[in-house]
Amino acid sequence: MRSVYIASMLTCLFAVSTAAQESELNFASGLEQFHDIRMMLPKYVKNIGYRMLAERKNQLEHLTTIEDVKKRGAYLRERMLADVGGFPEKTALNARVVGTLERSKYRIEKILFESQPHFYVTANLYLPKTGQPPYPAILFPLGHERGGKTNPTWQQMLGSLATKGFVALTWDPIGQGERLQLYDEDLRESKVGDSTTEHTLIGTQTLLVGDHVARYTIWDGIRALDYLLSRKEVDPARVGLTGNSGGGTHTAYIAALDDRIKVAAPSCYITSWRLMLQTIGPQDGEQTFPLWLQDGIDYPDYLYAFAPKPYLLLSAIRDFFPIAGARETYAEAEKVYSAIGAKEKIGMFEADDGHGYNKGRRLAAYDWLARWLKGTEDKTPEPEIEMSTPEELRATPTGQVATSLGGESVFTLNQKRLEQAKATRIKNPEELARKVQKVIGYEAPNAPLQQNPYGTLSRSGYHIERLIYESEPGIVIPSLLYVPDAGAGKKAAVLMVTGDGKADSASEAEQFVKAGVIVLSIDARGFGESRVSTDVNSRDFDHYFGDFDSAMTALMIGKTMVGMRALDITRGVDLLSARQEVDANKIYVYGKDQGAVPALYAAVVDRRIRKVALANMLSSYESIVKNRVHRQVFEAIVPGALKIYDLPDLVATLAPREVWIINGTDPLGHELPASEISKEYSRALDAFRQAKAEESIHIRDRRFEEDVTTTYREFADGR
């Protein structure tokens, strides 16, 4: 018992000592002006977004003629098509009815069709039994609710529409219902849980090849419309579109892109980006486009692409999509609709409830659709609908396309897109380095570096200067400068950037400084004490994507996390270059974990970095596309990167400078052996051989017990 007590006391004392040391190494714990530093990055990217939205508002102040509105709608379409990577060519649907359910006032057909060759879509078609065809028709994209097309709310609305004399078609989106893209036969559900997580994992892969996951989701909807219009029961001149949440998203998308839609009524989606940035931020993969705010696009633009046709906004006062944003968008769009003589064709319905296609919104939708597709009002009560079981409604024998039909998935189709993208990559190192600056949104600084000291900490054999420097207006970088006490003259310097931050990497910094090297350890934006607080154990989305809100907002304003962090690093190089103790010709960068990819980009854009060490770095972007699941890589991605380069190509541009690649990882964070990394980096190894610098690239494993200076002996030797 005594030994246990002593061990417990030592553990507590160590914890107290470590906490005290971390308190010394962090700025927020002792300085009032840095208490909100965790909000620095979100505030920075959002403020840029606000400025872009304000510019958009000024530009559209005089949108008053139908010609101007059509021009604006054409601009939205152009940007959407560019962002999704263009659509596939139309191929045979190969549609077939695989079963039928009879109800008293309508019939449900279970449909299979191919939106792309062997890319199977499962659908249900609701057909009226009363009245005379051809009927008006409703295309009904689904939201993220569980069950896909079998969800009781969807059955209620689809059955009601059929009872009221509409043909209605719905289909399972990817990642839902019978179309799980990451189906696990043991779990009998998606490997990653929620559909929004699936969409965003797949969306990360599509972004890397220059596409967008909405390329697949929108195209499924357009091909579903093709099928709906192929039915003799449907009047092609009377087709409406409505859906809730993710279905509201695709109502906005498809209505903006396809002229065959005559009436639109998105539910629980339309808001404004100003209010979204103020509240819940960007949503999952298919709902957010890179460059959207930089291109000056906001929610009202969906309406302008549809104008002057009838458009109804269906909103919930207590929705997580902010109602104030919906009102803001409606006010702007109503003004434009009024100016072009179509005031009666825009409407807004609010219900004092929460998110969902709840009864009040359903009744408003029935009336709006009847008004514009039938020429009559519909104030009748909602009919009682007989619910079907998921087994009754499914179109595949097993309930999953993956196990019943196989065929293509977004994963397999995206790999084919990858092979096409690779053909366009840049071979010339100088040209590639210039292009990289543009695609990561890196802007070289043009102002003197601003920095402030915050005291010195004495240690045995060295001292630590606490300082902060301004990377750019609005971004300050908490830093620790480790300086050896012994030895005169200028010394080599290592800038250290790690995903965990400067406090957690203090032991490694100490090993370097004791080897006689000056160390600048920094918390690049979003690292260390400027990291946005997330609990990866309580929020599944954070577990996979890290600081998704800041990273996606950055993409929307034309920036990337790696580009911004590369700037933080190069500004640190500015700081070191100005120090009299530092040999400016011997400045090196050590990037570890999430700090490794930004360190690589910094070395590409700044040739003052003479050596770079990359520890526990993601091996390649291509590995993300070739692995079905990934974790914590979203902050490192660059949209369209794989059309231009991959990470091994960036390393190749560094020849003949010295590079260490230690313990590279796969997209799940698992370490890969040096032999495997060497195969993946064969192009880089060839580039170093051609530069007669074979000895300058080091691909190695680091054993757990091995200290940092043993691994990086040549890196830290100051030569």
* CATH code where residue 160 lies: 3.40.50.1820
Picking from 420, 447, 473, the residue at the C-terminal end of a domain is 420
Q: pLDDT, tens digit, for every residue of 573-625? A: 999 999 999 999 999 999 999 999 999 999 999 999 999 999 999 999 999 99
Mean per-residue pLDDT for 546-572?
97
Mean per-residue pLDDT for 453-469?
95
Torsion 410-415-416-417 (CA) sign: positive
- 663 shares a domain with 612: yes
Mean per-residue pLDDT for 660-679?
96
% of the chain with per-residue pLDDT over 90: 86
pLDDT of the residue at 479:
97
Q: pLDDT, tens digit, for every residue of 390-439? A: 999 999 999 999 999 999 999 999 999 999 999 889 999 999 999 999 99
**36 within domain boundaries:** no
Instruction: Name the domain count of the chain.
Output: 2
The per-residue DSSP string of 241-274 comes to: EEEETHHHHHHHHHHHH-TT--EEEEES----HH
- 358 shares a domain with 454: no
Higher pLDDT, 705 or 313: 313
Start-to-end CA span in the chain (Å): 53
Type and span of the H or E element at 348? strand 346-351
- 562 shares a domain with 522: yes
- 467 shares a domain with 605: yes
Backbone φ, ψ for residue 130 (5° rounding):
-110, 165
DSSP label at residue 671: B
In whole numbers, what is the pLDDT of the chain averaged over residues? Answer: 93
- 485 shares a domain with 409: no
- 370 shares a domain with 433: no
pLDDT of the residue at 145:
86
pLDDT of the residue at 46:
98
**628 within domain boundaries:** yes
- The answer to whether the CB of 120 falls within 8 A of the CB of 171 is no
pLDDT of the residue at 10:
32
List residues bridging with 168 in a β-sheet.
126, 138
- The answer to whether the CB of 636 falls within 8 A of the CB of 652 is no
Locate 408 and state its tokens. Answer: 């293509």
CA-closest candidate to residue 560, choices 516, 587, 597: 597
Say how many C-beta atoms besides its own lie within 10 A of residue 403's C-beta: 15
Mean per-residue pLDDT for 196-210?
96
Mean per-residue pLDDT for 507-533?
94
Q: Is 121 left (phi over 0), alpha (psi -120 to 50) or beta?
A: beta
Q: What is the band of 707 on the pLDDT scale with cuts at 50, 70, 90?
A: confident
Q: What is the band of 643 on the pLDDT scale with cuts at 50, 70, 90?
A: very high
**358 within domain boundaries:** yes
* pLDDT tops 80 at residue 336: yes
List residues bridging with 247 in a β-sheet.
none
Picking from 367, 393, 420, the residue at the C-terminal end of a domain is 420
- 309 shares a domain with 165: yes
Between CA 302 and CA 281 the distance in angstroms is 19
pLDDT of the residue at 8:
41
Classified as helix, coil or strand, 360 is helix
Range of the domain at 204: 66-420
% of the chain with per-residue pLDDT over 70: 95
Q: What is the band of 640 on the pLDDT scale with cuts at 50, 70, 90?
A: very high
- 453 shares a domain with 388: no
Mean per-residue pLDDT for 510-539?
85
Mean per-residue pLDDT for 510-515?
93
pLDDT of the residue at 13:
31
Q: pLDDT, tens digit, for every residue of 171-184? A: 999 999 999 999 89
- 654 shares a domain with 571: yes
pLDDT of the residue at 712:
76
- Please count the CA atoms within 13 angstroms of the CA of 223 that sit on its side-chain side: 30
